[in-house]
Structure formats: C-alpha cells, structure tokens
Amino acid sequence: MSAEGKIRVMVVDDHPVTRMGVTAMIDAQRDMLVVAQAGTGQEATELFWQHKPHVTLMDLRLPGMSGVEAIRAIRSRDPHARFVVLTTYEGDEDIHQALAAGAQGYLLKGMSHGDLVDAVRKVHAGMRFLPPPVVQSLAARTPNSDLSGREREVLTLLVRGRSNKEIAGLLGITEATVKCHVSVILSRLGVEDRTQAVVTALQRGIVHID
C-alpha cells in the first residue's frame, strides 16, 4: 500500500521507550504509518498542524499540558480530529473527561497489540472503541458527580492533607466557604467524610498525585 493510502498516526507519550514500542507496532501494519511523535501536550498540538494525522494516540499523563487539555486544544480548531487515548489511568472520571474532550477511543496500557490496531482502524472509520473494562468503569460512574473548578481545587488540597484553614488561605476564601465546598464534595462523591473523599478522588482519577 502506498503511503498516501495509509492511516496517518501520531503517537503522544512522554516515555521514549513507550513511544518507540507503539510506533513499531503501528508501522508494522500494512495500512498504517506513524507520521509524528510527541513527548508533551504542547508539542502534540504543534505537530498536529504540521503533519495532520488521521488518528492521534494520546497519553493522558503528560508534563505541562495534559492529554485531555491537548485534545481540547486541537479539537477547538479541528472538531473532526480523531483520538484514541492510551493510558494507565483507568478511573471513571479519567475516562469521562477524555471522552468529553472529544476522544473516540480509550485503551489501557497493557491491553493487547490487537486491541491497539483495531482501535486505530475503528476510530479512523468514524466509530468508537471502548473495550469492556472501560465501559464497565464508565457505567459505574456516580450520576451528577461533576465538580466545579473551585470544588476540584478544594478536593485537590484535601488530598494533599490541607486543613480547612489552610485551604481558605491558599484559595483566598473564608473557612465557612471551604466548609460549604467540602459538604458539596462529600455529597457529589457519595461519601461521608474527608478520608473517604480522598480515597474516592484518587481511585476515580478525579485527582492525581504525581
């Protein structure tokens, strides 16, 4: 097959060995060709416009601009851009955020080589690719559990062990306001106390500790 007829793929991952491995798998397919590799979200947004891949394989955990932010940035200019997320993040919130940003496929690292190439082909053809473990995780997501930007900030500081007084000082709000935010967070996460909120936030991928 000529290069013109192949599915053009960009691979985005901050680990060079992972990029090389994924690139080798893609280039081994007769109908695919890796046209660009990026190690950061910012680099991915720049290379996208230079190489115009049909499908981008995007990690979520990237230095600086996250994978979700990179997807949003690219799709704000090209709503038809197609993405398959390839990540270790398996929390329902990670999946929800990636799909909301515009990803059409979601793969966990460690899944088979066949799943990877199948995902690229299906997403290129305009379909979605969500394997059973991803569908199950997404289905278990608590309804109406979306948090506001401020609530996410408060929750992140809770995860880092900050007290209400410290959170108030860091965010420039009153302790009473922090208590109100914490109450809403507990309700939306369906938990009873701060400790459960921290555990749930980490398990679901609402907050990550790098």
CB atoms within 10 A of CB 160: 13
CA distance linking residue 176 with residue 178, whole number of Å: 5
Indicate if 172 and 103 belong to the same structural domain: no
Phi and psi angles of residue 53, each rounded to the nearest 5 degrees, phi first: -65, 150
Longest dimension (CA), the chain: 65
Say if 210 falls within a structural domain: no
Give the pLDDT confidence score for residue 90 in this predicted structure.
Answer: 85
Look at residues 96, 118, 139 and tell me which one is the last residue of a structural domain: 139
Give the pLDDT confidence score for residue 104 in this predicted structure.
Answer: 97
Indicate if 81 and 163 belong to the same structural domain: no
Mean pLDDT of 163-189: 92
Do the Cβ atoms of 55 and 9 come closer than 8 Å? yes
Indicate if 166 and 128 belong to the same structural domain: no
Say if 170 falls within a structural domain: yes
Written as six digits, the tokens of 204 are 């679901």
Give the pLDDT confidence score for residue 4 in this predicted structure.
Answer: 76
Indicate if 192 and 110 belong to the same structural domain: no
Indicate if 8 and 110 belong to the same structural domain: yes
Indicate if 105 and 189 belong to the same structural domain: no
CA distance linking residue 32 with residue 119, whole number of Å: 12
**Domain total for the chain?**
2
Give the pLDDT confidence score for residue 31 in this predicted structure.
Answer: 96
Task: Give the CA radius of gyration of the chain.
Answer: 19
Domain extent at residue 189: 149-204
Indicate if 160 and 72 belong to the same structural domain: no
Closest CA to 123 of 165, 83, 156: 83
Indicate if 154 and 126 belong to the same structural domain: no
Mean pLDDT of 75-96: 93
Inform me whether the pLDDT recorded for 95 exceeds 70. Answer: yes
Inform me whether the pLDDT recorded for 190 exceeds 90. Answer: no
Indicate if 29 and 105 belong to the same structural domain: yes
pLDDT digits (tens, 9 = 90+) for 100-157: 999 999 999 888 889 999 999 999 999 999 999 898 888 877 766 788 889 989 999 9
Look at residues 92, 111, 139 and tell me which one is the last residue of a structural domain: 139
Please report, for the domain that includes residue 187, its CATH number: 1.10.10.10
Phi and psi angles of residue 118, each rounded to the nearest 5 degrees, phi first: -65, -40
Indicate if 90 and 165 belong to the same structural domain: no
Say if 209 falls within a structural domain: no
**What is the reported pTM?**
0.78
Percentage, residues of the chain above pLDDT 70? 97
pLDDT band at 78 (very low <50, low <70, confident <90, very high): very high
Say if 95 falls within a structural domain: yes
Closest CA to 46 of 17, 97, 12, 19: 12
CA distance linking residue 201 with residue 130, whole number of Å: 23
pLDDT digits (tens, 9 = 90+) for 11-25: 999 999 999 999 999
Give the HSE-up count for residue 199: Cα atoms under 13 Å, Cβ half-sphere. 7
Give the pLDDT confidence score for residue 162 in this predicted structure.
Answer: 93
Indicate if 132 and 36 belong to the same structural domain: yes
Locate the DSSP E strands across the chain: 7-12, 32-38, 55-58, 82-87, 105-108
CA distance linking residue 102 with residue 122, whole number of Å: 15
Give the pLDDT confidence score for residue 5 in this predicted structure.
Answer: 85
CA distance linking residue 188 with residue 120, whole number of Å: 35
Mean pLDDT of 179-206: 90
Give the pLDDT confidence score for residue 1 in this predicted structure.
Answer: 63
Indicate if 89 and 126 belong to the same structural domain: yes
CA distance linking residue 108 with residue 58, whole number of Å: 11
Please report, for the domain that includes residue 113, its CATH number: 3.40.50.2300
Look at residues 89, 121, 139 and tell me which one is the last residue of a structural domain: 139
Say if 191 falls within a structural domain: yes
Say if 118 falls within a structural domain: yes
